[in-house]
Amino acid sequence: MRESTTTIATGDGQELHVYRWAPDDQPKAVVQLQHGLAEHAGRYRRFAEALTGAGYLVYAPDARGSGRSAGNGYGDWGADGWPGWVDDVARLNARIRRDEPDLPLGLFGHSMGSFATQHFLLDHAGDVDAVVLSGSTEVGWLVPVLDSDEPADLSTFNAPFEHRTGYEWLSRDEAEVDAYVADPACGWEAPPLPGIGTLAAAADPDRVAAVRDDLPMLIVSGSDDPLAQGGAAIEVLAERYRTAGLTHVETQVYPGGRHELLNEINRGEVTADVLAFLDRTLTTG
């Protein structure tokens, strides 16, 4: 895997740091990877190694206020807030399309990145060829939780689990949890995100109806991910897209899995399933 970096400018004057992970040979497709809240794209190198090993080119930004994009500190959402975050997905997507006009493009969004993906698809479903949502949920119930004047305390998701670090909800793999806790670019207290209420549009059936019917989608989750609500929220999400007319929506809920499936004890299985989906939808034929 060959690693390089680039930057893209946001609409409100920020600069996003973007990793570009390339296979040794000519890529067969591109994966745009959007990470979650209070983490960064560098955590996805292992997944990128699997993707590039399978022939995919990967673009992965540190989202606004995160990782190396956090020029003024973690959680600096900029003047455009959440709508800016969604627009950042579109700007990187357009950049990839310019750089790699002949390659199919898949979009992988995890957690907050999956919510940005859901929001992005309302107006840009024609700009991607396949979508994977990981650690996601039906956002109708979540928006009022996120749209608060108080900082987001991610450790509250740990209530159903043993309390060794406060982040056991992320994975059953203690080494992965410890690495997250030890990383100063992870787990920081996220300030309120201006404009997050607009995410409710992703739960509006009339808006979701604009997503093109032939867009392939895979939704992966762990049964013990607090956001999945035992898998029920995943089925509600999938059914929303199916009702809107999408004809290729797959779900996979892994028994016992927690929030970060790519860092779970069965991550090999999850990665293989995601690769198989991408191969079927981006490269077959």
> Angle at CA 56, nearest 5°, toward 50 and 59?
95
Length of the chain: 285
- In this structure, the dihedral spanned by the alpha carbons of residues 189, 68, 121 and 9, taken in order and rounded to 10 degrees, is 130
The pLDDT value recorded for residue 284 is: 67
- Asked if residue 72 has pLDDT above 90, the reply is no
User: How far is C-alpha 259 from the geometric centre of its chain's CA atoms?
Assistant: 12
The pLDDT value recorded for residue 117 is: 98
- Count of domains for the chain: 1
Which among 40, 85, 46 is positioned nearest to 60, based on CA atoms?
40
pLDDT tens figures, 44-64: 999 999 999 999 999 999 999
pLDDT tens figures, 141-181: 999 988 888 777 777 899 999 999 999 999 999 999 999 99
Domain of 157, in residue numbers = 2-283
Both structure tokens of 148: 């608060």
Enclosing H/E stretch for 131: strand 130-134
Query: Residue 224 and residue 205: Cα distance in Å, rounded?
Result: 27
pLDDT mean over 190-201:
95
Q: What is the CATH number of the domain that holds 32?
A: 3.40.50.1820
The pLDDT value recorded for residue 71 is: 85
> Angle at CA 96, nearest 5°, toward 244 and 51?
80
